[in-house]
A and B are shown apart, each in its own frame.
Chain A
C-alpha cells in the first residue's frame, strides 16, 4: 500500500486546514504521478488528478483505513485515465502471449552494448535507459500497463491491484508477469542480454 496515502488519510481526518492542505498536496502527487505513468501526457495527468480529487471531495466518506482510500483513489484515477485518452497514446487492447514473450535464441547480444549487469539505479540514472523504460511501459497494452504500474510502481499488493482492476488475483499475477517480461525484453535492446533460457539446449 502506498505509504503517502496513509499519511494523507491521517491528515484529512484531523480536519485541520493546514493538514488537509498538506494531505491534498500528497494526494495530488500520488494521483498525478499515477496519471503520468499511465497516460504519459502532462495534460491528461492533470485532468486525472483534478477530476479524481474533485470526486474525492464530493463523495468524501469515512474511509475505514488508508487501504480503502488507496483502492478507491486508484480505481477512480484509472477510470479517469482511460477516459482522458484524447492526447494519450494507448496501444490497442491485445493479449500478450507468454510463448511470444519468451526470448528467442536469435536475440543475441549486440556487440559493445552495456551488460545486463546494470543495476536498477543505473537504469534510473541513465537518461536514455529511463526514457526507454517509460516508453516500454507506455507501449504495453493498457490492461497490462495498469497492472504493472499499480503493482511495481505504486507498490500496491496483488490483492489491492486485483480490487482496483476488478479482476481475480490469478489474472493479476498472469498480467503482471507478462508485463514485466515485456519490459525486460524491451530494455534488453539497450543492455546486453542475459543468455536466454532456450539457449541452454540449443547453443
Chain B
C-alpha cells in the first residue's frame, strides 16, 4: 500500500508546479514536502520533464505552398478593400 498522504500529494504536483494550487492545498503540500525526500525528488523530476517539454522544438517547417500564399494574400486584400 502506498503512503496515503504521498498519494494525495502526488495528485497535486502539476498544479503546484503551475502555481495553480489553492493556498490551503499549497500549504499542505509544502508541509508534506518538508518531511518527504522521495516526494521532493519526484517533484523535481516532474519539473525537469515539464521544462524539457517547454524547450522541445519541432523540426523547421517547409515554406508555405504557393496556393496558401496566394489565398491568404487575396483574402487580406479583400478584407482591406471592405474596410
Contact = CB atoms under 8 A, between A and B. Distances in A.
What DSSP secondary structure best describes chain B's contact surface? helix
A82 interface: no
B69 A24 contact: yes
Interface of A: 12, 15, 17, 20-21, 24-25, 28-29, 31-34, 36-37, 42, 45-46, 49-50, 53-54, 56-58, 60, 62, 98, 102-103, 116, 118-121, 123-124, 130, 133-134, 137, 148, 152-153, 155, 158, 173, 176-177, 180-181, 183-184, 187-188, 191, 193-202
Interface string B1-40: 0110011011101110010100000000000000011110
A191 to B, nearest CB: 8
Interface residues of B, number: 51
* Most chain B beta-carbon neighbours within 10 Å: one of A17, A121, A184: A184
Contacts of A188: 45
A60 B75 contact: yes
What DSSP secondary structure best describes chain A's contact surface? helix
* Most chain A beta-carbon neighbours within 10 Å: one of B7, B38, B42, B49: B49
* Most chain A beta-carbon neighbours within 10 Å: one of B39, B46, B58, B65: B58
Contacts of B52: 120, 123-124, 133, 187
